[in-house]
Amino acid sequence: MAPPPAVPEADHQDDDDGIPEGTGVDLRVAVRRLKARNTAPGSDGLPGKAWVLASEALGPRLEGLLSACLERGQFPLRWKTGKLVLIRKPGRPADSPSAYRPVVLLDEVGKLFERVIANRLAEHLAGTGPDLAEHQFGFRKRRSTVDAIMRVRALTTGDAVARGGGDVLAVSLDIANAFNSMPWSCIREALRYHRVPTYLRRIVGDYLTDRAVIYPGRNGE
């Protein structure tokens, strides 16, 4: 697969635009995560386990490809295309649209590249910042849902609550379809606010463009 053509330079060219050498460490971490997952493949038909088995032989070539993508600031168009499948919900009539949950399957190699980018974003936020909020548990290394639950438990059983008495009220918000409803301009502005390096802003900006979904028609094609 040939590297994509370079995209125009983004704004804030006075920022540090250096790209860390190689993607080997990032790639190994991403491949380890593939080992723990058993998800359906995207439109290329290659499951994650196939990439795990081939990583030793194809690793250097894949690292070179991902490095070229980072340098050029382009997420391959092929990896932006998802395959739509409908999963039947139990207990719903088959002729009802609400009886099916749409799921978009992406190529595993594209998701591997996403993890490389996400790891670099997380490392930047933790090392350079400004970091994420102290009590944010999502998108944070070495933090889990269990940590969030323990934090809530500490708030409801602490000395201040015990002395004051009364009731504790918890409010839970679930943002439906968050990825699709978040304005991409807000994402770009957040990256600038957090002083994310220009090369990462370019690749994320390209990641958000020209995305597509394919689905089978009535004849199965």
Alpha helices in 128-175 (DSSP H): 145-157, 159-164
Structure tokens at 159: 């000395």
Per the CB < 8 A criterion, the answer to whether 48 and 30 are in contact is no
34: pLDDT strictly greater than 80: no
Query: Mean pLDDT, to the nearest integer, of 90-109?
Result: 89
Per the CB < 8 A criterion, the answer to whether 187 and 108 are in contact is no
Contacts 24+ apart (CB under 8 A), 14-22: 15/195, 15/197, 15/198, 16/197, 16/198, 17/197, 17/198, 17/199, 18/197, 18/199, 19/67, 19/70, 19/71, 19/197, 19/199, 20/120, 22/63, 22/67
User: Within 13 Å, how many C-alpha atoms sit on residue 23's CB side?
Assistant: 26
What pLDDT, on the 0 to 100 scale, is given for residue 216? Answer: 79
> For all residues of the chain together, what is the average pLDDT?
80
Closest CA to 128 of 9, 11, 18: 18
Q: How confident is the model at residue 21 (pLDDT cuts 50, 70, 90)?
A: low
- In the chain, the largest separation of any two C-alpha atoms, in whole Å, equals 68
The amino acid at residue 99 is A
Distance CA 186, CA 179 (A): 12
Output the pTM of the full model: 0.76
